[in-house]
Amino acid sequence: MIRFLSQLGRYVLLLQKVFSKPEKASIYYRQTMQEMIYLGFNSIGIITIISFFMGAVITLQTAYNTENPIYPTYLIGLGCRDSIILEFSSSVAALILAGKVGSNIASEIGTMRVTEQIDALEMMGVNSASYLILPKIIATLLFNPLLTLISIIVGIIGGWISGTLAGVITSEDFIYGIQYAFVPYYITYSIIKTVFFAFIITSVSAFQGYYVDGGSLEVGRASTKAVVFSSVLILLFNVILTQLLLS
């Protein structure tokens, strides 16, 4: 318990340094643009692939579990739409990004720590925490909602293609299903969760890398801890946000 409180205190103090006033806004702007490409744009490929097959699997499983004639076939499209929007495109995508983006952030900052690059920044009077971490947080907060929207669109397209090719639903019924009783707030709910998850992934991973103590072996351990802790917090806040936003 004492160790947990100690780590929580260090995390809060790190965030206080991160969100202090930037020395030169122009430098932070350039850094943020670079991080949006490195952390956001470069993640589009894996999000697209996983979302497509995720939508395909959801559609096929829904179809095979609603073979009873009393269920109209358009419910397959409706189930695919709601499953992707409410859960998979925000939560599952966040867990994927925790593994890809989180480990990258922890290893990058951890390597800078063990090679004393962070100490050099501090010696030059630079707020290393803000300079290294703040652009990453801003970049993911801005870009991850776009990744979620891409995931939703690609997931539904994947479900439509798999459902029609497998012959479990007609194209007309699937399109009718994804339009039936649509609630626009579900998109807002998914994006709100994505913003929270983006902050968790970036800040927790940066925290693990920033306080690495040792050599390259510890950097690897920090990357593993970043993925594990981020994933656990994503699952925890998924429950909390679902209760708060949908109750």
Q: What is the pLDDT of residue 68?
A: 66
> Which residue range(s) make up the domain with 214?
24-246
Q: What are phi and psi of 167, to 5 degrees?
A: 75, 15
14 lies in some domain: no
Average confidence (pLDDT) per 10 residues, the chain, 247 residues: 82 88 79 90 92 93 77 86 90 90 92 88 85 92 94 94 89 91 91 95 93 83 92 94 88
**Burial tier of 22 (Cβ tally within 10 Å: 0-12, 13-18, 19+):** middle
Q: What pLDDT is recorded for position 151?
A: 94
Tell whether 2 is covered by a domain.
no
247 by DSSP, 3-state: which?
Answer: coil
| pTM exceeds cut of 0.75 | yes
Q: What is residue 121's predicted lDDT score, i.e. its pLDDT?
A: 84
Which residue pairs, CB below 8 angstroms and at least 24 apart, start in 58-61? 58/83, 58/84, 58/88, 58/155, 58/159, 59/158, 59/159, 59/160, 59/162, 59/163, 59/168, 59/169, 59/174, 60/162, 60/163, 60/166, 60/168
pLDDT score at 18: 87
- Give domain status of residue 17, yes or no: no
Residue 80 lies in a domain: yes
How many domains does the structure of the chain reveal? 1
Q: Is residue 7 part of a domain?
A: no
| Residue 3 is assigned to a structural domain of this protein | no
Does 111 map to a domain?
yes
Note whether residue 11 is domain-resident. no
